[in-house]
Structure 1
Amino acid sequence: MKRMNQTKKTVKPLLDIIRQLRNKLEQSETKEKQISELNSDLMEKYHEIVRIHETFIKEADLLNEYKNKVIKGENDLQLCQNKVDKSESEINSQQNIILKLKEQLTDKSTNLESCEVQLISVNSKLIQKDENIKIFSENIKNNTEHQKTLELELEKSKSILIKHEKDIQLCRSEINQLNTTSENIREEQKKYQLKLTENETKLSQSELDKLTPTTCISFGDYSGVNQLNVSGIGLFNVLCDSQLAGPGWIVIQQRVGGNESFNRDWATYRKGFGSFESDFFLGLEKLHRITSLQRFELYIHMIDGNGNTYNARYDDFKISDEDNGYVLSLGKFNGTIYDGMRYNENMKFSTFDHDNDKNDYDNCAAYFKSGWWYKSCSYCNLNAPYGPLLRWWDKSYKYIFNLKEVKMLIRPKKR
């Protein structure tokens, strides 16, 4: 635009000159030839000026086009600069992240070295475990063979048990007949006693005590709660059982419900606790007094989680007095399971507040949360909490019978 203005300014004076020359030519005829020549020259110059003007216009257009390109280039340059600034900030951020990663990598390298040391240790332990697994595999193979032998013995025991049950049924029918006869005899005795005078029938208290039962034998086939009178204790209730192994058994311990805690102190185990309808322990002092009267046998009835039934029988069960720690005596064993109680024989009773076991590291009663005749500690614990701890080991001490129900019963040993 500036060039166009300049062109106009340049052309205008020339036009003025042309007008003046024309005026002079009109006034001077003599100078017509010169004016004519000048006009022709001026016309040429005019055409040249017009061409120059057109050239200027084209150049101005080109200049505007270049200017627009320059402005666009500046805008593009500004955008590039913004991108460069953004890239620089991102690069700075990435460099900071790289520095942090380098620090973390250094820490990881240190941890990796530590892990490599631990890995070496773990590998050595794995090698040892592989060796142990081989040993365990051999033991499992032996146990499988042993289990097959036990299954055969169990089948034999079941057949013997079925025979015994038939014998028991025959005995019960005979006992029922005897009970009927006994009822008739009692009726005759009542009639006879009515005829006696008061002085003849009056007995001393000591004689009445002698007539009060000291075992469940006196109650025959009756299963339920009865009252005994034992010297040193007096009258107390017991649960009699005539179903599991014949008549006359006193239930001294029972695990059938899992509702009773056996994690009790010495005084509670001495006295006894629980309910005859669920779980209970008769009491150490009662057991001592009862087993001091005569020779008793112990019968243990067990049912595992799969419903399999086992029993263990000892022919001379006895508990010493409190001063000696209620030491356990068992006698000879017979049963359908391994003699697991033998490990506990001649041991004092232990509770969490009376540690009488031979374990130098732990209090077995506190660890297993139950009182028992622990040694170090036990291969069977019939007072343990319900679950994996209520168990009985087999002969190889590798297989565990997890128990669901347990009953311990005693009765006088037949002569």
Structure 2
Amino acid sequence: MKIVAVLLFTVSPVISVTINGNYSSFEPSPPETKLRYAMLDDVRLLANGLLQIGHGLKDFAVKTKRQMDDIFLKLNIFDQSFYELLQQTNAIKEEEKQLRKTTSRLQANNEEIKNLSLELNSKIKVLSQEKIQLQDKVWGLEEKLTKLFNIQPDEIQEHEEIVSLKNFGEKHANNLRYLLKVVQAQHAQFDKQQKQIQALEEKINNTGYQDDIQIAFPLKTDEAKKTHANTTARVQEYKNNATDCTWIYNRGEQSNGIYSIKPNRSKAFNVYCEMKTESSWTVIQNRVDGSLDFNQTWESYINGFGNLEGEFWLGLRKIHSIVDQADYILRIELEDWKANKRYIEYTLTMGGPETDYAICLTKITGNIASALPEQKEVKFSTKDHGNNTEGNTDCPDNYSGGWWHNECEETNLNGKYTTPTSKGKLERRKRGLYWKPHKGRSYLLKSTKLMLHPIEFENFD
């Protein structure tokens, strides 16, 4: 605008002089007029130069604005990437924190098991010395008896003191064998937890551990389908060879599913094998939704019932044929209606049909208090067979389902399947599926699983 005003101011006198002056074109122009024309040309030239500069500045401003927009866009992308990276870093730190907590807890458990093993080893040494002394005494008495029988074979009878000493020696020998089993089971558990700690420490120390943060490795969907499809083939492959699921696992099979096994002195039958990380378990009971009635007869509990791919009871006869081969661990996995999962493991000895398949348990490890009788033989009973409770009450009939009953209102994992009330508590009149520790309240259960695994003697020198 200023340039236009200057131009108008300069041109106006020139136009005025031209109009008011002499109209004769033959007269020469005075010097003043030439000067004014020269100034007008200079102004025009200046105006054109300024206009070009204005256009250049405009183009520069537009180009600069585009560059600034690109810079702001890149800054926004950088801010978003930085925020996502910060979130991932926080998640990794939290996972590392959880791993360190798990490692600390496992180390504490290992120390406890180690101390317990040392204590049991010292007790075994003492009992071994007592056993040796008793055996020496028994051998001395046997030699004396042999001499007496040689002298008076028709008149000599075993003295009550001798019989008592023999029984005492046999009792101590049985106690020693039982304690040895417990120590061996705890030693195996100690080695397993030690491996878990080493694996966790490797994950923590590994810079790329965030890509593999899962500790458990569940069976993939396609592998599960493949396992189900090839069940018949596997049954044929291991028929008359496998003694339990651990035998199958040690031959390289690591997929969950149904397999055929043939324990010693038994016919072949199918079982469900659950393959965990570095271990395998033979499932003997499974309850998940209450679709199967467990209030069955004695004959049904002996032979087994249900579907191995759903809810089932393997059968007392089959369970005994497995346990009778070696020393086994009984693992019980529990889940309540709030999705809390717990487990507990016992050493297990089991009698045959002449003892009503009585069991004797000793807790090894777990993250829940024991709710089953320990170091005491308890017989199995159903609504139509056996009545083994101390209160002389028919527990299988009143509380629904066959079990190793010691007292009524104890834990019964074959009891009636019930759902919790609106307050989440167990209704007493329903006598449901629950876990009741010796001290504390009962836990109403949504699912249970009982599994067997042999004690690994190769871990001991």
Q: Normalization by structure 2: what TM-score?
A: 0.44
Q: Normalization by structure 1: what TM-score?
A: 0.49
Which structure would you say has the larger Rg? 1
